[in-house]
């Protein structure tokens, strides 16, 4: 008997066949992302074994059949991005097995049932945004103890305080609620201060002019007015006492705020970073359906690359009030890998409050279930149009003509060193990346490098006895892992410095540390260190000098065209290029020294590279 039918992401048109309701054993029906029209057949209510029903992103119209309420085994109902109208049948809210319900972007009207929190006890994600729903937000939602995502944005929830249109304070009691979006309604009254509201951002509440907060700082943060409490003073004495006291309190608060900001700035971004909320309109959390639609079902043509814990896809999301199309990179975790979930948690933790121009920005995340009911985790990150350093050092098409010049490689090395210097010396506590390699050096449209993939990152404690724990079993990348890690040494900034040294040397000779040309047991750093200083150019990547055809000694010495002046200029360029390469190799070897005590710090390495650049400008 047929149990699953999946026709998503095709070009199907026409009506949904009512005969589909005659499949008694059907468990999964997915016809999303097509051009289907007409109404949802009422016969679908006969699919008693159905657990997942997805009809999203079509042109389905009419009302939601009341008969769907008979699907008592349904776990996921996804009807978003259609043209459904009318009221949501109360029978839908009585499907107690539902964990995921999305009716976003339709033309639905009416009120939510007051007992919704009791009738949907297992609900984890409830997406009702961008409709025309009205009335109160039921306080019974506080009883939906499993709910993680609640989107009621862009509706008409309204009414006078205290009966209608108020944010129920009970919502702050939802312990696992991670994302709440109430924007663009007509809500009024005080914004609760606990639970999810303690960290809620202004964009989740924007478009509700009647909201306010009693705390002045909270009001500024949420961009709402300060609540006013009307009181009657009995005498001028009250004013004479309260006004000076209030002024003193405000002054003390202002001084505390200034002190906090100064302290934060000292230990935070030394170079002006950009917040992960730089792309306006991204919610703190993304739903599975949004990720699925943005990547076109993780289509192969959108695949950007694969890593140890998952795959990265190009995605297009509609963001902001004007539904601007924004291109991002989505890292989808392979949760069949034993450490993938820990990698996701580590990356979220590392990038939550760390922002720098040379670090890849993470805009939002998703922790949900997919269309089969399996766990699903993903990160939406800044899209890098020029891929990564690995692709440029080892292009698939050797004759494509695209390569990195010497000065470009020096700039990329400085960008990566700047990011690591920030992580090691300007973050509190310091952060160790633990997996630096060319594939994690991403390049934007201006060829500026950004360090990404913090799946193995560690925070260092000020108590050195607790730093990082043993690195036995630490999964870095072969050839880039510091030698002491193989002996069970603790994660340290010097381990990152070693990886950076290997990376810098690799950029010069364009040979991986695992290349077959390296003798067994002879590392990239040892191989280069044994090459005589005068022979450095012999092992350097010849593409380094693509734009300086005359830099090689043989060419500069044999060319007689252009006269003595041209020959002298060419010899000067060749000499300075060779000095630049030799100096970069020297920094790489000092970073990749066998003993961690002999290595540069990242700040020292950065300073050396910047000095090399100043000396090399003009060749």
CA–CA distance, 411 with 447 (Å, rounded to integer): 9
Q: 470-487: string of b/e by CB count within 10 Å (b at 16+)?
A: ebeebbbbebbbbbbbee
Does residue 331 have a known ligand-binding role? yes
Q: Can you read off the two tokens belonging to residue 101?
A: 């319900």
Q: For residue 159, which phi and psi values (nearest 5 degrees)?
A: 135, 160
Phi-psi region of 618 (alpha: psi -120 to 50; beta: other; left: phi over 0): left
Q: What are the φ and ψ backbone dihedral angles of 89, each rounded to 5 degrees?
A: -55, 135
- For residue 212, what are the CA distances in angstroms to 173, 186, 187, 221? 20, 12, 10, 11
β-strand pairing of 362-369 with 441-443: unpaired
Q: Are 229 and 206 in contact (CB under 8 A)?
A: no
DSSP letter (8 states) at residue 473: T
Catalytic residue check, 538: no
Q: Report yes or no: 50 and 24 within 8 Å, Cβ to Cβ.
A: no
Tokens 């690995």 sit on residue: 390
User: What does the DSSP assignment read for 6-48?
Assistant: E--SS--EEEPPGGGGG-TT--EEE--SSEEESPPPGGGGG-T
Tally the residues of the chain. 619
Helix axes 493-509, 563-591, angle to 10 degrees: 150
Burial of 198 (C-beta count, 10 Å sphere; 0-12/13-18/19+): exposed
Among 450, 294, 433, 333, smallest CA distance to 384 is for 450
Q: Measured at the alpha carbon of residue 419, what is the angle toward residues 414 and 422, in degrees to the nearest 5?
A: 120
Query: Encoding tokens for residue 543?
Result: 């593409």
Region of residue 195 (phi > 0: left; psi between -120 and 50: alpha; otherwise: beta): left
* DSSP β-bridge partners for residue 329: 314, 381
Q: Are 176 and 145 in contact (CB under 8 A)?
A: yes
3 state DSSP class of 555: helix
Q: How far apart are CA 567 and CA 574, in angstroms?
A: 10
Which residues have C-beta within 8 Å of that of residue 127, sequence separation ≥ 6? 80, 101, 102, 103, 104, 149, 151, 287, 289
The DSSP secondary structure of 355-424, one letter per residue, reads --TTB--EEEEEEEE-TTS-EEEEEEEE--TT-BHHHHHS-SSGGG-----HHHHHHHHHHHHHHHHHHH
Rounded to whole angstroms, the Cα distance separating 69 from 30 reads 18
Among 435, 453, 496, 541, the active-site one is 435
- CA distance linking residue 241 with residue 214, whole number of Å: 21
- Residues with catalytic annotation? 435
Residue ranges of the binding site for ATP: 331
């Amino acid at each position: 008997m047929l149990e699953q039918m999946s026709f998503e992401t095709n070009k199907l048109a026409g009506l949904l066949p009512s005969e589909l309701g005659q499949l008694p054993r059907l468990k999964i029906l997915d016809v999303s992302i097509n051009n289907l029209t007409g109404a949802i057949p009422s016969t679908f209510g006969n699919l008693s074994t159905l657990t997942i029903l997805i009809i999203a992103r079509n042109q389905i119209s009419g009302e939601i059949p009341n008969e769907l309420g008979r699907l008592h085994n349904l776990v996921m109902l996804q009807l978003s991005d259609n043209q459904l109208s009318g009221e949501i049948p109360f029978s839908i809210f009585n499907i107690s097995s539902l964990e995921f319900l999305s009716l976003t972007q339709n033309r639905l009207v009416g009120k939510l049932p007051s007992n919704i929190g009791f009738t949907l006890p297992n609900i984890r994600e409830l997406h009702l945004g961008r409709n025309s729903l009205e009335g109160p937000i039921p306080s019974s939602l506080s009883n939906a103890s499993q709910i993680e995502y609640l989107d009621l944005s862009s509706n008409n929830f309204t009414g006078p305080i205290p009966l209608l249109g108020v944010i129920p304070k009970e919502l702050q009691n939802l312990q696992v609620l991670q994302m709440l979006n109430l924007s663009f309604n007509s809500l009024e009254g005080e914004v609760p201060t606990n639970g999810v509201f303690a960290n809620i951002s202004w964009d989740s509440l924007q478009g509700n002019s009647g909201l306010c907060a009693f705390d002045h700082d909270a009001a500024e943060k949420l961009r709402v007015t300060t609540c006013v409490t009307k009181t009657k003073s009995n005498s001028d004495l009250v004013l004479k006492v309260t006004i000076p006291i209030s002024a003193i309190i405000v002054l003390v608060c202002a001084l505390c705020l200034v002190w906090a900001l100064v302290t934060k700035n000292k230990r935070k971004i030394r170079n002006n970073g950009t917040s992960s909320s730089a792309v306006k309109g991204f919610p703190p959390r993304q739903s599975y359906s949004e990720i699925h639609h943005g990547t076109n079902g993780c289509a192969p043509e959108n695949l950007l690359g694969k890593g140890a814990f998952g795959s990265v896809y190009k995605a297009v999301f509609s963001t902001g009030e004007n539904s601007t199309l924004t291109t991002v990179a989505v890292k989808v975790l392979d949760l069949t890998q034993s450490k993938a979930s820990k990698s996701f948690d580590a990356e979220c933790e590392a990038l939550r409050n760390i922002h720098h121009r040379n670090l890849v920005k993470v805009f939002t995340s998703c922790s949900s279930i997919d269309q089969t009911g399996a766990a699903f985790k993903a990160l939406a990150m800044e899209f890098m149009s020029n891929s990564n350093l690995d692709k440029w050092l080892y292009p698939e098409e050797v004759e494509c003509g695209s390569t990195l010049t010497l000065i470009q490689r020096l700039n990329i090395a400085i960008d990566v060193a700047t990011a690591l210097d920030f992580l090691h010396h300007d973050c509190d506590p310091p952060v160790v990346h633990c997996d630096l390699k060319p594939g994690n050096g991403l390049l934007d449209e201006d060829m500026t490098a950004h360090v990404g993939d913090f799946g193995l990152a560690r925070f260092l404690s000020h108590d050195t006895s607790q730093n990082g724990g043993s690195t036995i079993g630490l999964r870095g990348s072969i050839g880039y892992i510091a030698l002491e890690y193989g002996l069970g040494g603790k994660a340290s900034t010097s381990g990152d410095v070693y990886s950076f040294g290997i990376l810098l040397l690799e950029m010069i000779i364009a040979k991986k540390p695992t290349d077959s040309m390296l003798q067994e047991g002879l590392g990239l750093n040892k191989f280069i260190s044994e090459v005589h200083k005068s022979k450095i150019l012999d092992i350097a990547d010849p593409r380094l000098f693509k734009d300086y055809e005359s830099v090689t000694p043989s060419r500069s010495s044999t060319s007689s065209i252009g006269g003595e002046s041209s020959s002298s200029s060419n010899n000067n360029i060749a000499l300075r290029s060779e000095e630049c390469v030799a100096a970069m190799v020297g920094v790489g070897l000092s970073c990749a020294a066998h003993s961690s005590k002999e290595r540069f710090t990242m700040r020292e390495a950065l300073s050396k590279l910047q000095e090399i650049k100043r000396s090399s400008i003009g060749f």
